[in-house]
Structures are given as C-alpha cells and as structure tokens.
Amino acid sequence: MLRDIFAGVLGVAIAVLIVFLSDELSHMMYPLPEGLDPTDYEALRPYIASMPLGAFLMVMGGWVVATLVGAVVAGRIGTAKAWVYPTLVGGLMFAATTATLIAIPHPLWFSAVSLLAILASAWLAWKVSPLQFGK
C-alpha cells in the first residue's frame, strides 16, 4: 500500500517537474515582452493571442510528455492495476491544465487539443504499462 502511494506521489511529482522544466524552456525560447507582468492575466491576453505556434506546441508537448512519463514511472514502481496511475496522473494533469486554461486565456484550438492530448497520453500510458511491465 505504501509503495502504491509512493508511486502515485512520485508520478505526479515527476509530471509537475516536467511541466515546470518545459515551461522554463519555453520562456527562455519565447520570453515575455519587457515589463509584462505574468500575474496580470488580462495583460497576458493580447500577448498569448500573438504567440508563435512553436510556443504553443512546446507548452502542450510539456503537458503531454509529463502525463505520459509520470504515469509510466508510477506504473513501473507501483503494484496497483495498470489503469490506476494513468488515471491518477492524467486526471490531475487534466484538472491542472483546465485550471490554467481557465485562469489564463488561450486560443480555443489550443485548449481543446491540449486537453484531448493529455487524455490520449494517459490512455497511452495505460496501454503501454501492462505490456511493458507485465501488470
């Protein structure tokens, strides 16, 4: 039981770390304009609307990779059924992404594709886990 809890917590922690690192990389490649306050969501709205496609894809890619890696690592360590960790990590990533997309306005296409991609990533982690780890 403790091993399963540890696996779930570690999977979520890894996912959060990957999102943090991919966001940092994205901010390095596509820095905010001088003087733009990242906590002022209304001021961010026109900036986000003008961001290049690469910036969107980098952020989305971070969310998708984070979901997949976090769920697979948790599945590798934990002893619960294969669907548990993708559901946990994917569900939390989906919820956090939804909260982010609500708080900070993003284009509709990006919001829809990101959420679907996170679900697909969790599904893939579930499908890969029993094949790879024998559960």
pLDDT tens-place string over residues 42-84: 888 888 888 999 999 999 999 999 999 999 999 999 888 889 9
Q: Is the pLDDT of residue 131 over 60?
A: no
Q: Is the pLDDT of residue 108 over 90?
A: yes
Q: Is residue 102 part of a domain?
A: yes
Q: Which residues form the domain of 108? A: 2-34+51-133
Q: Which two tokens stand for residue 86?
A: 């993708």
Q: How confident is the model at residue 1 (pLDDT cuts 50, 70, 90)?
A: confident
Between CA 54 and CA 70 the distance in angstroms is 24
Q: Is residue 6 part of a domain?
A: yes
Q: Is residue 41 part of a domain?
A: no
Q: Is residue 113 part of a domain?
A: yes
Q: Is residue 44 part of a domain?
A: no
Q: Is the pLDDT of residue 133 over 80?
A: no
Within 10 A of 94 (CB to CB), how many other CB atoms are there?
A: 18
> Over pLDDT 90: what percentage of the chain?
67
Between CA 31 and CA 135 the distance in angstroms is 43
Which position has the higher pLDDT, 126 or 43? 126
State the pTM of this model: 0.88
Q: Is residue 72 part of a domain?
A: yes
Q: Is residue 46 part of a domain?
A: no
CB contact at 8 A, 122 and 64: no
Tally of structural domains, the chain: 1
Residue 32 is predicted with a pLDDT of 86
Residue 128 is predicted with a pLDDT of 86
Q: Which two tokens stand for residue 59?
A: 């952020």
Between CA 72 and CA 11 the distance in angstroms is 8
Q: Is residue 94 part of a domain?
A: yes
